[in-house]
Structure formats: C-alpha cells, structure tokens
Structure 1
C-alpha cells in the first residue's frame, strides 16, 4: 500500500502546483476548487465543521504525481488552528541528469543548503524552497 503525503497550504496551493509542474515536471491528476464543489448545508460558517470559510478559488483537493509518487494537497486546514511552518519532501532520482535538473530548477528560487554533492548516505541532499 503506497503512502501519499497530504500537504496543506495557507491559500497558495495553486501556486505550489504550478511550481511543482514547472520545476519538477509534476503531472496534475486532479484538482477541484471550493467554488467547483457541490453546494451543501455546510456552505455557511455556522454549519461548517471547522468554522472556516474558503474563497471559491481556494483548492479543496488536488493530486499531483512527481516521479511516480502521488502528493495530495489543498488550501484547507483539517481542523482547529494549523501552523504553516514548512515541510520536507524527498526527491529520489535514479538518473543523475534528472537529479541535476531538479536541483537546478529548485535552486533558482530556493535556498541551497549544501550544494549538489554526495554524502555518506550515498545521496545528494537538501534543497529548500522558500
């Protein structure tokens, strides 16, 4: 059974999807905004379980595939107060040229933590976006 991360964004999920498509060649499998969802009794703030309302353009659910792995994402918070302090995704390429291309694309707008170099784990590590 595969394990897929689910990332929550604070209103910039569409930007993240576009970024992953541009830098990593992500394939958009599915995307629905809150405005595209069927209307229900939960559309009013008093009936919404989280007590939150989202703009029609906010992403309710999306699924992208990067190098064979699915990542789900949305602008919605699961419940309560969420903190958007960052996350880590590991990209694993079996081809050196593909790994270099990913690195270069991410480095263009990211923070290069220790360059493109091998380490004792036999991998190239740590590129941060924003």
Structure 2
C-alpha cells in the first residue's frame, strides 16, 4: 500500500505536472485530458481540454493531479490517494474512511482500476482509494 498526494487544479494541472517533473528531475508518466476519457458522460465543451488525470514520477515518489471541472484558476487543494493491489482490502479501507463522512464516488471497478472510490472523511479530508 502507498499513500500519494493528489493535487487538484482549476485548469493548469498539466502545466504544473511538467513543472514538477523538471524541478524534481522526474518525468511526466501520464496525462489524460477529459476529452480522452472512455466515459464521455463527464465531458463538456467547458472541460474537454482539462486534465482528467496525470502523474509525475521521480526518485522516491509520485505526484498525481487533475483539474476540477467547474473550477477556474490555479491550485485547489490536495486529495490523499491510497494505492493498493487488493480490491477487497481497498474496499474495506474505503468503507472505514467514508464512515461518518461523504462518499463522492462509490467504490467500484473502473476502466483504469480493479477498484476505485472517492470520499471525504468525517474531518473534511478528501480521499481516493485506487486498486490496480
């Protein structure tokens, strides 16, 4: 299991990831625009060019990021992301994190993961649980 920072931006996530790759002597490992997502139900004319997901790898870590549809401007916040290999373990972690909080995307299989869900815990901290 690994804990990764997941940064939220309002339109400039790809630019930020390229900056972090340069500064941290890393590389941009992925960039996917909203328009490139297999599920087009989230895509609008306003968010087509926004970053749905991207990440940078560097010695000792990773930074993940996306743009938040409906948000404008720069940096918006951090989401804590847990990556684990076992979907059953991921679901159990997700359920415990969501207890007393709010589920924003129910834990389920997606096109990129065997299990994924987002929630805000009872303290207001946003989480992603991703099981590949």
With structure 1 as the length reference, what TM-score do the two structures score? 0.47
Normalized per residue, which structure has more strand?
Answer: 2
